[in-house]
């Protein structure tokens, strides 16, 4: 564990990195059964220590209220008995998943008789920088541990007390099972300079994953000497095509926008085909207004619904994380696709349509990690995709894209069997 305070020295960071490297070597030797048993012990520890965690979370919530944190972000920060149980269930779910480590994904025999295969192996040490959501702490540990990766966590100042308590519980569970607690470590300094130094620790950290605001992700990409997988922000769109079932479209829209507003897979932008706008938009606006959503639309949408506020150019690029949505009327599916690809963050996009060709065109031409037909964007989630939990939603185009589960935390090595071949 790090030394709590406003600043962490370079010496302390190096020590932390060395500890993680050593722990990763030990962790790589654990078999699947050992890992699963330890994960279940950690889940039990989270539940049995719920009072300690909730008490720590109260301090973070008090600070959040004092600092006028938006209600949507307070909701992401809050921990209660139900959410801690969900955290524990997430850890158990990861234990129940198939272990990808050691899996041979390819095997072929060469003309010279050599057999060449490709095997999944751990990354080694994974660093995760994240904001506000303390449940990420247990999710990140579980996924990294199952894939035999040691993990260094750097949470935000907003959730510092919660993160300290959760990591304390996890480390104690590891110690009680006679395993190295440094399988998970927390940088509990809230100093930004410490974070910047952490981003330069490529000697000790094999992969860095930022999870949070656009500013955090951009700062990590710009400053890190460690390879980075970007988990992007979510300006997610719903396109209501001219053949859409109106009731279905309203239902999907309300769920995607209001079921939980402060998350990256929430809908932030509504795009409507002009031929269905007069029939659909009044019903959509009424349903959104009932949920307290402010609507900011283009000129054409305001001709149909006068109580829509005027949108500016910036509105169509925004991830609001609030009860606000933008609206754009388009002439056809091509202009819808063009608008979405211009303004989105490559996260999650939905078309509501009964036209098979338009559905496939949308799937083919939208540039995003997850593209839906007739379903809410809120399903972009590791648990919903059957991954048990997720480390984040990758919006880049490297080996990981979309919800990142176990396989995305692995790398590979070639294994070659010969019988004396020389070149």
Q: Answer yes or no: is pLDDT of 5 > 60.
A: no
Query: What pTM does this model have?
Result: 0.86
Residue 328: strand pairing partners: 271
Query: What is the mean pLDDT of the segment spanning 397-417?
Result: 91
What's the confidence (pLDDT) of residue 214? 81
Mean pLDDT of 165-170: 98
Give the residue-averaged pLDDT of 174-194. 94
Q: Is the confidence at residue 2, as pLDDT, over 90?
A: no
Q: Could you tell me the pLDDT band of residue 383, with boundaries at 50, 70 and 90?
A: confident
Read off the pLDDT of residues 304-357 as tens digits, 9 standing for 90 and up.
Answer: 999 899 999 999 999 999 999 999 999 999 999 999 999 999 999 999 999 999
State yes or no: pLDDT of 6 exceeds 60.
no
Residue 87 half-sphere exposure, CB side, CA atoms within 13 Å?
33
Reduced to 3 states (helix: H, G, I; strand: E, B; else coil), residue 384 is coil
The answer on pLDDT for 7 being more than 80 is no
Name the segment(s) of the chain with CATH classification 3.40.605.10.
10-231+391-417
CATH 3.40.309.10 intervals, the chain: 236-379
Query: Could you name the CATH architecture of 10-231+391-417?
Result: 3-Layer(aba) Sandwich (3.40)
pLDDT for 3 equals: 40
The predicted-structure confidence for 355-375, as pLDDT tens digits, reads as follows 999 999 999 999 999 999 999
Condensed to tens digits (0 to 9), the pLDDT of residues 58-95 reads 999 999 999 999 887 898 899 999 999 999 998 999 99
d(CA 249, CA 86): 30
Class of residue 118 by CB neighbours under 10 A (exposed 0-12, middle 13-18, buried 19+): middle
236-379: CATH homologous superfamily? Aldehyde Dehydrogenase; Chain A, domain 2 (3.40.309.10)
């Amino acid at each position: 564990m790090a030394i709590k305070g406003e600043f962490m020295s370079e010496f302390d960071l190096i020590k932390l990195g060395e500890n993680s490297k050593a722990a990763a070597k030990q962790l790589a030797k654990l078999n699947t059964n050992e890992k699963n048993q330890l994960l279940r012990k950690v889940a039990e520890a989270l539940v049995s220590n719920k009072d300690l965690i909730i008490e720590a979370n109260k301090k973070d919530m008090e600070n959040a209220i004092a600092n006028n944190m938006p209600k949507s972000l307070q909701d992401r920060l809050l921990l209660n008995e139900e959410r801690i149980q969900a955290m524990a269930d997430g850890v158990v779910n990861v234990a129940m998943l198939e272990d990808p480590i050691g899996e041979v994904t390819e095997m072929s025999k060469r003309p010279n008789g050599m057999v060449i295969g490709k095997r999944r192996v751990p990354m080694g040490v994974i660093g995760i920088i994240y904001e506000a959501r303390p449940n990420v702490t247990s999710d990140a540990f579980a996924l990294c541990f199952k894939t035999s990766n040691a993990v260094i966590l750097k949470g935000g100042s907003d959730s510092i007390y919660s993160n300290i308590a959760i990591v304390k519980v996890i480390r104690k569970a590891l110690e009680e099972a006679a395993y190295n607690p440094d399988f998970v470590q927390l940088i509990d300094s809230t100093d930004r300079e410490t974070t910047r130094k952490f981003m330069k620790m490529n000697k000790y950290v094999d992969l860095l994953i930022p999870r949070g605001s656009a500013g955090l992700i951009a700062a990590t990409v710009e400053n890190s000497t460690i390879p980075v997988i970007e988990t992007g922000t979510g300006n997610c769109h719903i396109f209501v095509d001219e053949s859409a079932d109106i009731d279905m479209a309203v239902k999907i829209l309300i769920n995607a926008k209001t079921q939980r507003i402060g998350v990256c897979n929430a809908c932030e932008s509504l795009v409507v085909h002009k031929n269905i706008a007069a029939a659909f938009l009044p019903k959509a606006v009424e349903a959104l207004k009932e949920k307290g959503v402010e609507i900011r639309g283009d000129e054409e949408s305001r001709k149909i619904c006068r109580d829509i506020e005027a949108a500016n150019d910036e509105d169509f690029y925004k991830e609001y994380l609030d009860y606000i949505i933008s609206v754009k009327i388009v002439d056809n599916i091509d202009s819808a696709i063009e608008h979405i690809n211009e303004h989105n963050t490559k996260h999650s996009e939905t078309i509501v349509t009964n036209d098979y060709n338009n559905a496939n065109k949308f799937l083919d031409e939208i540039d995003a990690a997850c593209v839906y037909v007739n379903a809410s964007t809120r399903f972009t989630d590791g648990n919903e995709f059957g991954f048990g939990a997720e480390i984040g939603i990758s919006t880049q185009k490297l080996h990981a894209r979309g919800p990142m589960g176990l396989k995305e935390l692995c790398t590979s090595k070639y294994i070659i069997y010969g019988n004396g071949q020389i070149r």
